Structure 1
Amino acid sequence: MAGEATGQHARVAIGPRGRGHWSAESIREHLLLYAVTDRAWLRGRTLPDCVREAIAGGTSFVQLREKHPGHDGHDEMLALAREILPICRAAGVPFLIDDDVALAAKVGADGVHVGQEDMACSEARRILGPDAIVGVSAQTVAEACAAEEAGADYLGVGALHPTATKPDAVDVTYDELARICSAVSIPVVGIGGVDAASAHELAGTGVAGGAVVSAIFAADDPEAAARALVRELRKVVR
């Protein structure tokens, strides 16, 4: 990756509007441990502090995802994004917004993650430009191939296990995860019940990493939790 190494991660050059220029290789490398936020688990702690601790433990990708913001939802999300973005940028960690392409553009986030029922990947790319990272959720080979064709940079595939954060998600088997990884050339992260105890189940699937919510944000020590996850994920990601 171009740029000067900072802390645990290499920093990229920052382009217009504050968005980093991430190569396909650097995106893949940073997907090892992908933290998806959820303040429901914080028990009075602040999200920026927990993100900072998670990055200190080795978290290499962050997505701001808050499905139940307060009554001032947009303003609240804007404030959170503006607090977390500089934390990620200082560490050279990509910072994405879940679903909200307009918010990602407004704050100069590194990109956006969209689901199958959100804005189309191609439209998100058109709005955010060629330098943005656009991730897409997929649960089948057909969805994965369509997302790659539309210009996705990576895929989030799951849920691999039932979770409290996505109780309505359709489960994806590890065999299907492996088929998806084989069908596309872009990197894939497995999500849904991934933690330090279950990370070994990703072995042989071809994933670039694991995406987690409660495994970090429900932990008493997010830094230690992230460090344990990185240790286990490195065993299964080639």
Structure 2
Amino acid sequence: MAKPVVDYSVYLVTDSDLNHPSRTLVQSVEDSILGGVTLVQLREKDLGNQSFIELARKVLAITRKYNVPLLINDNIFVALAIGAEGAHVGQDDISCVEARRLLGPDKILGISTGTPEEAQKALADGADYIGIGTCFMTQTKTPKRTLGPIGIRTILEALPANNDLKTVAIGGIKDDNTRRVVAHSAGSNGRVLDGVAVVTGIVGAVDAKLASEKLLVEYKAGREEGLKRVQGELFKGRTQVESVLQTLPQLLVTLREKSPLTHHISNYVVMNDTANATLALGGSPIMAPSAMEAPDLSKVVSSVVLNIGTLTDSFVDCMLVAGKHANAQGKPVIFDPVGAGATSLRRETARRILNHMHVDIIKGNAGEISTIASIIGCDTESIAMRGVDSLGSGFSNPAAVIEAIARRENCVVVMTGKTDYVSDGVRTVAIENGHEYQGRITGSGCIVASSIASFAAISPNDHFAAAIAGVLAINLAGEHAGNRDDVRGPGTFRAAFIDEMANLKPEQLLTEAKINTISLRS
């Protein structure tokens, strides 16, 4: 008997305790298959063998009716007794090698994995697929730490690019995060998830058929985007830098005409300055750190700034909710990982943000960008951290670093310093404008993030242009302020700085810009 061919796209894992009370578990299985579920695992931790076998036979009758494979969780005896297509085992259950010996070569065998080492061992031990998790927090398990798409990607990249081992993500997978999980976890070795395993999102849904339909649509969309990522398709067809620079004056004109509303979840130290800077440039800020109003605000704001300078549980909760809803509304998210490498809390918060949403633009100094690179698995030179500042001169090749991060995250990356760098993974520029006093007042970097957010709000199709305009506008204002006769030092500079943002003329973004294009790719 040949091993069954399995489509892992939407993989239902049952749980009687979480099954919706309006129907039986068997009905949930049938409804989910009608909605597009391609594989079913019967997981019943609390049933004895006889009761498990009785339930498994009922479920098998349904799965066979629709030609969908059935796997049994952690009970090889039941799998063999009913003639199921295979089994799934955990790391603390029977070994993969022993399970394969008992099942034989023609059954499907899967194993749970949570580290690259476990994934590599599963491949060596003869598994047909691995369940990678836990992705997000879930009702079925309480893991010490979730992987998120970044952790899943790390595991995918630990596997050979070309072999028959299939990969499935599990843990907190729902229709509103499936697309991002699948697309964002695509590995640099070309691997993209072969499926998503779902428990509560299907069996706990009011309508299991509809829930399954949505999940299948989102999985297919995520896989298509993931394949485009690994094949480089997302980075093709972008306009030349010279053409982008010509648009900068009009961006400032449009910003002042539309005065877009930007949601700031920012730190207390600079909140007043970032609000005033946004107003001076022509935008409109709202400083709202409550998660309760973030969903409503996402419908009316034009962009969102996440600044982790002030870290409280309520601020972080608001950031996660605001970012998720901004993604759903198609509003750009700008992430300012202030002091990301200074403490474990800041690093973990940055990781949570990058895992839970798509960030359109990341802005940070060299130390912060180094931490981001480490979090997402980009190899760069290490930079020590002191508070929110980096030590030393920075990266030996900053342009290459931010280009690599931008490609890996499919976003725009801005690295601030004596020279500022901006890259979208294809186009990279260095901006030489600015004044030394910008580095001698608190919050100048946070102001840059706010400026970028305002420009991103009116440039939804080119965040690269928005990032350049946002950095350049602030740097030109800094130059103009620093050169004023009435500026005697950082204190007088701060007030003049805001004035010059308001006084900035659109044409100056072209005539006074000191921008060099950096060619990193042939």
User: Same fold per TM (> 0.5)?
Assistant: yes
Which residue of the other structure, out of 128, 132, 142, is the alignment partner of 1:167?
Answer: 142
What is the DSSP-based 3-state SS (H/G/I as helix, E as strand, rest coil) of the residue aligned with 1:97? Answer: strand
Question: What is the aligned partner in structure 1 of residue 175 from structure 2?
Answer: 196
* Higher helix content, 1 or 2: 2
% same residue: 38
Q: How far apart, in 2, do the equivalents of 1:228 and 1:141 lie?
A: 30
The AA in structure 2 aligned to 1:36 is: V
Q: How far apart, in 2, do the equivalents of 1:64 and 1:151 lie?
A: 21
Asked if residue 38 in structure 1 is aligned to residue 19 in structure 2, the reply is: no
8 Å CA contact retained: 2:134, 2:143: no
Shifted more, 170-179 versus 115-124: the winner is 170-179
1:129-174: per-residue Cα shift (whole Å, max 9, x none)?
1000000100000000000100000000111111111124642232
Counterparts of residues 219-230 of structure 1 (less than 5 Å): 219-230=205-216
Distance 1:169 1:65, change over 3 A: farther
Distance 1:38 1:169, change over 3 A: farther
Question: What is the aligned partner in structure 1 of residue 71 from structure 2?
Answer: 96
Q: How far apart, in 2, do the equivalents of 1:100 and 1:170 lie?
A: 27
Which residue of the other structure, out of 51, 54, 58, is the alignment partner of 1:83?
Answer: 58
Q: How far apart, in 1, do the equivalents of 2:144 and 2:52 lie?
A: 24
Which residue of the other structure, out of 77, 81, 104, is the alignment partner of 1:129?
Answer: 104
Question: What is the aligned partner in structure 2 of residue 4 from structure 1?
Answer: none
Question: What is the aligned partner in structure 1 of residue 114 from structure 2?
Answer: 139
The AA in structure 2 aligned to 1:59 is: V
8 Å CA contact retained: 1:162, 1:169: no
1:53-102: per-residue Cα shift (whole Å, max 9, x none)?
00000000000002233xxx222211111001121122121100000011
Structure 1's unaligned 5+ residue stretches are 1-14
Which residue of the other structure, out of 213, 222, 230, is the alignment partner of 1:236?
Answer: 222
Normalised TM-score (structure 2): 0.40
Q: How far apart, in 1, do the equivalents of 2:144 and 2:36 lie?
A: 27
Counterparts of residues 41-52 of structure 1 (less than 5 Å): 41-42=18-19, 43=21, 45-52=23-30
8 Å CA contact retained: 2:110, 2:128: yes
8 Å CA contact retained: 1:159, 1:169: no
The structure whose Rg is larger is 2
8 Å CA contact retained: 2:196, 2:219: yes
The AA in structure 1 aligned to 2:197 is: A
Question: What is the aligned partner in structure 2 of residue 21 from structure 1?
Answer: 3
Q: How far apart, in 2, do the equivalents of 1:182 and 1:191 lie?
A: 17
The AA in structure 2 aligned to 1:32 is: S
Distance 1:217 1:169, change over 3 A: farther
What is the DSSP-based 3-state SS (H/G/I as helix, E as strand, rest coil) of the residue aligned with 1:63? Answer: strand
8 Å CA contact retained: 1:158, 1:170: no
Q: How far apart, in 2, do the equivalents of 1:34 and 1:131 lie?
A: 20
Asked if residue 66 in structure 1 is aligned to residue 41 in structure 2, the reply is: no
1:193 offset after TM fit, Å?
0.6
Q: How far apart, in 2, do the equivalents of 1:65 and 1:225 lie?
A: 19
The AA in structure 2 aligned to 1:116 is: Q
Normalised TM-score (structure 1): 0.85
Aligned-residue Cα RMSD (Å) equals: 1.4
Shifted more, 36-45 versus 110-119: the winner is 36-45
1:35 offset after TM fit, Å?
0.3
Question: What is the aligned partner in structure 1 of residue 482 from structure 2?
Answer: none
Moved over 3 A (4+): none
Asked if residue 57 in structure 1 is aligned to residue 32 in structure 2, the reply is: no
8 Å CA contact retained: 1:181, 1:187: no
1:226 offset after TM fit, Å?
0.2
Question: What is the aligned partner in structure 1 of residue 91 from structure 2?
Answer: 116
1:104 offset after TM fit, Å?
0.6
The AA in structure 2 aligned to 1:226 is: S
**Number of matched pairs:** 212
1:215 offset after TM fit, Å?
0.3
The AA in structure 2 aligned to 1:182 is: E
8 Å CA contact retained: 2:150, 2:184: no
1:21 offset after TM fit, Å?
2.3
